A = this chain, B = another copy of it.
Amino acid sequence: MDKETQRRTRGGRRRQREGDASQPKPQRAVNYRQLKNPFPTMDVFSADEIANMHDTALRTLEELGIKVLLPEARRVFAAGGARVDESTEMVYIGRDMVEAAIGTAPKSIKCRAGARDRDFTLELGSLVFQAGAGAPNATDRERGRRPGSARDYVEYLKLTHHFDVFQMISPQVEPQDIETHLRHYFTTEAQFTHSDKFPFVFARGTPQVMDCFEMTRDFRGLSDAEFQASPHCYTIINTNSPRTLDIPMAQGLIDFARHGQMSIVTPFTLMGAMAPITVAGAITLSHAEALSAITLTQLVNPGAPICYGTFTSNVDMKSGAPAFGTPSHFQASLAAGQLARHIGLPWRSAAGSAANTNDVQAANENQFGLWGCLMSGATVIIHAAGWLEGGLSVSYEKLVTDAEVLNMVAELCAGNRAGPDEIGFGNAISEVDPSGHFFATSQTMERYNTAFYEPVVHDYANFGTWTERGAKDANTRATDVWKAILAEDARPAIDGDRLAQLKAHIAKRTAEGGAPPES
């Protein structure tokens, strides 16, 4: 046993001062709702290489073109000066058009949630997390893996609402037991009643989107002009790589831009499958596709809020299966971050895991991918928690254990100080004799209740105590955490009249037949 181990043991003694319960305990207060990324950005390519990638993306759009399946979108591109071949549905976009779009796309986007202290701004340097999203299945240790249901949707929403570090509501888990023509009513009402965070709307055709815009406007008590003036909801647009923009995605870009709501445009590509096998090639293709979508929004409504995005990882070369949290995924995030800074737009990246259960692989992949996003200066990090099987399920336990990591990142965003009081020559170092302890220094007494982050699920008990308590691993303890959150069922305050109005709208539209998704 070396000294490090000896000191480890010695430090384990319990404090005496816990008995002093008569005094109010100072609360540790760190704002997790509006974060600035404190990490230096990392480059994987040189400035010249990035310029060449950007240039190649522009050349790709000009010379190879992009297939646009929606006739209205082709008309918008043609009216904006693009060469369109209606027989092949190919659109060839000049670099002048793309550069104009980059010029009008806002560099800073103020997102309006249900409460002012839930608002946030998306711009290079800000940092927003989303829980794992878009999964067809949900899983937890008590009930196992099952197709996502309405109950799962609401439970996952309650869990993500609980953690301030998820500043936006994600696309979550698919409530497959709700009929598709009514599903957007269910998800909208759930988001408004269980959370006051910035809500998500799927781009599944104009009728659904317009329904959601109307419900959002009215529930937030906004005029049409107020709604149009700032994004009050958002969607995520995945292009169909390579070089295809399908009907609902193109329609979503148009509808959201037209009404001043935000699209996050993210080609989702796997190196070696739907994208080139190299990081440089995959990100160049992704960049081209994202630029085509950004251009469409700015042709529809110059200045419309649009968030650039990339989500690129690699396939496993033995099986062709998708992999996440890999070195290639990390480097792809870095390259995308360089391109985002090249064009100056806020942007979205993603963590995630290919693991099939909330195990050490799941933790390590997710955190490895997360650091790639953090060091690439991503503005929005999606799938930052809870995402398993490359997105085929979300795990309640993983949501909790990943939230612990995100909380710790949020703590780092707060920085630290080294003034005279913190350095503590007079109030700490000189107060303690050699081989003494700092439990009772002036500095410690002032800070012991608020000095350190208090974990959600991490357990610091020693082996003996931990064993006596049942030897619960973190995954097991995470079950206790999510069950406690669901039992608490904390909800934001809601205006009863607006809720009644929302329910009336939904009842009326349901009676009219709802709005089936379009494709």
Q: Which residues of B contact A471 (CB under 8 A)?
A: 356-357
Let me know if A275 and B438 touch, CB within 8 A.
Answer: yes
Q: A40-B42, A363-B363 known; A422 and B460 CB under 8 Å?
A: no
The contact sample of 25 A-B pairs, CB cut-off 8 A, is A1-B134, A1-B135, A7-B238, A11-B270, A11-B320, A11-B321, A11-B322, A15-B319, A40-B375, A64-B429, A66-B434, A275-B438, A277-B447, A279-B418, A280-B419, A314-B451, A321-B460, A323-B460, A327-B411, A357-B473, A359-B475, A360-B360, A360-B478, A361-B401, A364-B367
Q: Which of A12, A331, A358 has the most CB of B within 10 A?
A: A12
Let me know if A318 and B280 touch, CB within 8 A.
Answer: no
Q: Which residues of B contact A52 (CB under 8 A)?
A: 418, 420, 423
Closest 7 CB pairs of A and B: A3-B238, A2-B134, A280-B418, A49-B418, A281-B424, A327-B411, A67-B434
Q: A367-B368, A437-B273 known; A319 and B2 CB under 8 Å?
A: no
Contact of A280 among B389, B417, B438, B462 (CB under 8 A): B417
A73 contacts B by Cβ under 8 Å? no
Let me know if B174 and A330 touch, CB within 8 A.
Answer: no
A196 contacts B by Cβ under 8 Å? no
Let me know if B2 and A238 touch, CB within 8 A.
Answer: yes
Which A residues between 35 and 82 are near B, CB-CB below 8 angstroms?
A: 38-42, 44-46, 49-50, 52-53, 56, 59-60, 63-64, 66-67
Let me know if A412 and B249 touch, CB within 8 A.
Answer: no
Contact of A355 among B320, B335, B474 (CB under 8 A): B474
A408 contacts B by Cβ under 8 Å? yes
Q: A279-B422, A416-B280, A429-B60 known; A273 and B44 CB under 8 Å?
A: no
Contacts A15-B319, A56-B429, A335-B418 known; list 18 others, CB within 8 Å: A1-B136, A2-B236, A4-B391, A11-B320, A14-B319, A40-B40, A45-B416, A60-B429, A272-B452, A276-B428, A280-B416, A281-B422, A331-B416, A355-B458, A359-B475, A361-B457, A371-B371, A389-B463
A243 contacts B by Cβ under 8 Å? yes
- The CA-CA distance from A314 to B450 in the complex, in Å, is 12
